[in-house]
Amino acid sequence: MDGLEEPLEENVPMFDAHAHLNRENFGQELEDVIERAKRVGIVAIVAVTESPREAESILLLSKEEPMVKPSIGLHPELASRWELEETLQLIRQHRDELVSIGEVGLDYWIAKEEEERELQKRALKSQVELAQELGLPLNVHSRSAGRQTISLLKEMGAKRVLLHAFDGKASVALSAVEAGYFFSIPPSVVRSPQKQKLVKALPMERILLESDAPALAPVAGERNEPANLLVACKEVARIKGMAWQEVAKITTENALKFFGVDL
């Protein structure tokens, strides 16, 4: 795919707002994966975590590789485990190193029973409260629960919210736009009519790019990596009728503003 071609003659800075860079996903290839990202113009990658166990390795990686920006959170799939308090403590401890709290959210594709969903809500609410206390943005997962997630966030007064790889209807997304929320678009947009409709409906000032590596590759079933951000960028450009360089510029500016990052 385009994202893994030879270096471009014209590299435009791009910002990956959501990726999973733990070595369980990439092993000894991780350094090469990061180098390929640099070659296509990526200047920053927000490395989200799903559990306290992942946080230590991502914090270490961010010290070794400054383009990696750490984000600590408890994924909703783990909300029923005894890891919430440990996650909250880690966020407090490393607040000055973090660019966001995440990956957090609701996942009703996994949680079918009401008891499971209540546990997810409790974990999300605790992390939203901490984000508000510490002044950090939220990096949010909302699979099969877009409407419910947005409703909870709005009820709690959450202001700095990024909805990653949103799988809901464009009409639901627009209610989040009204609340000032942002959306990040992954490379799988090239094969997802739902995400193409989402991009068409969203204003450019609320769009970021993400890889969600190693998931959501341009080709179903393949391992994704941040270099494929260029694929997402070009598809957003096609849908919006813009030059991809302009999409890269706008989405990078949006990301720098959202995360409060200086490059």
User: Closest by alpha carbon to 140, among 161, 169, 122, 167?
Assistant: 161
pLDDT single digits (tens) 151-181: 999 999 999 999 999 999 999 999 999 999 9
Q: First-to-last CA distance in the chain?
A: 28
Say yes or no to pLDDT of 7 above 60: no
User: SS3 of 47, please?
Assistant: strand
Q: Which of 124, 217, 109 is nearest to 168 (CA)?
A: 109
Nearest C-alpha neighbor of 236 from the set 252, 215, 220:
252
On the question of pLDDT at 4 being above 70, the answer is no
Neighbours of 246 (CB within 10 A): 14
In a domain, 52, yes or no: yes
Q: Are 63 and 94 in contact (CB under 8 A)?
A: no
Q: Please state the rounded mean pLDDT for residues 104-121.
A: 95
pLDDT top residue among 133 and 6: 133
What total number of domains does the chain contain? Answer: 1
Q: Is-above-0.85 flag for pTM?
A: yes
Judge whether 23 and 65 are in contact, CB under 8 Å: no
Distance CA 210, CA 37 (A): 12
Peptide bond into 222 cis (omega under 30): no
The single residue listed with the structure tokens 């079933």 is 221
If DSSP codes are grouped into helix, strand and coil, which group holds residue 52? helix
Residue 184, domain member (yes or no): yes
Neighbours of 94 (CB within 10 A): 16
pLDDT tens, residue by residue, 18-41: 999 998 889 999 999 999 999 999
Q: Is 19 helix (H, G, I), strand (E, B) or coil?
A: strand
Q: How far is CA 17 from the centre of its chain?
A: 5
> In which band, very low, low, confident or very high, does the pLDDT at 10 lie, cut at 50, 70 and 90?
low
Separation CA 133–CA 136 (nearest Å): 8
User: Is 3 a member of any domain?
Assistant: no
Nearest to 54 by CA among 73, 77, 35, 82: 73
* pLDDT of 82: 74
**What is the domain extent for residue 34?**
8-259
Read off the pLDDT of residues 116-136 as tens digits, 9 standing for 90 and up: 999 999 999 999 999 999 999
Q: Please, which residues bridge with residue 16 across strands?
A: 45, 209
Q: Is residue 249 part of a domain?
A: yes
Do 104 and 88 form a contact (C-beta atoms < 8 A)?
Answer: no
The CATH number that applies at residue 191 is 3.20.20.140
Q: How do residues 192-227 score in pLDDT, each as one tens digit?
A: 999 999 999 999 999 999 999 999 999 999 999 999
Does residue 1 form part of some domain?
A: no
Does 150 reside within a domain? Answer: yes
Distance CA 133, CA 247 (A): 33
Residue 227: phi, psi to the nearest 5?
A: -60, -25
For residue 105, pLDDT over 50 is answered with yes
**Residue 80 confidence (pLDDT):** 66
Q: Does 2 map to a domain?
A: no
